[in-house]
Amino acid sequence: MNKRTLWITRTAVFIAVLIVWQYATSFWSNTLITGTGVNLLLVLAVMSGGLAGGSAVAVLSPVFARFFGIGPLWPLIPFIALGNLTLVLIWHVLGGRETGIRRVNYLLAAVLAAVAKFLVLYIGVVQIAVPFLLKLQEKQAAVVSAMFSLPQLVTAGAGGVLAICILPAVLKAAKSSL
């Protein structure tokens, strides 16, 4: 299989798993479960499918979430995609470094990516979108703001920790498919 076909296949698999995960967890209405799984998939996609594959999953994730009724209001999708892309980029740069201390790289990537994604979402959604772009009642604005604050840090961090645990097996399987 040539590299382009392999990339398309891996990216398609991660998008399919993302869709199944978001659909399956939509019945629970639990941001922590859905978000942790999505962040795990973002990390696995970028680490096994490269920056382009991870970016594709990152951008499509909030769109699919919206279709399943668990996602954001349409005006928030660009902010969420940017937060996801931030996580993917940091994992690509730090997690993909070839050093003798891969676990340290993964831990650093997990922490920095979680904090960076949280900051992008907090600034973009809570500080910009909610007060200036969305016409929400005070209670609705408080709910949206709460969803895009601390839970985002928790789910991005938890997704990164889970990725550290299973990434070696995923990368081994991906390498054997070459």
| Number of residues assigned to the chain | 178
**Least confident range of 31-45, 50-64, 99-113, 116-130:** 99-113
Residue 158 has pLDDT above 80, yes or no: yes
| Amino acid sitting at position 127 | Q
Residue 178 has pLDDT above 80, yes or no: no
CA neighbor of 76 nearest in space, from 28, 172, 164, 147: 147
Confidence of residue 167 (pLDDT cuts 50, 70, 90): very high
Give the distance from CA 149 to its chain's centroid: 15
Neighbours of 12 (CB within 10 A): 13
Residue 155 has pLDDT above 70, yes or no: yes
- CB–CB of 62/77 below 8 Å? yes
CA neighbor of 165 nearest in space, from 5, 69, 44, 38: 44
What per-residue confidence (pLDDT) applies to 71? 83
**Least confident range of 45-59, 75-89, 106-120, 163-177:** 163-177
State the average pLDDT for the chain. 93
- CB–CB of 108/78 below 8 Å? no
What per-residue confidence (pLDDT) applies to 96? 79
Residue 176 has pLDDT above 80, yes or no: no
What per-residue confidence (pLDDT) applies to 169? 92
SS3 173: helix
Residue 99 has pLDDT above 80, yes or no: no
Confidence of residue 154 (pLDDT cuts 50, 70, 90): very high
- What the chain holds in terms of domains, given with CATH numbers, is 3-176 (1.10.1760.20)
Q: How far is CA 109 from CA 63, 99, 101, 114, in A?
A: 25, 14, 13, 8
Per-residue pLDDT tens digits for 18-51: 999 999 999 988 999 999 999 999 999 999 999 9
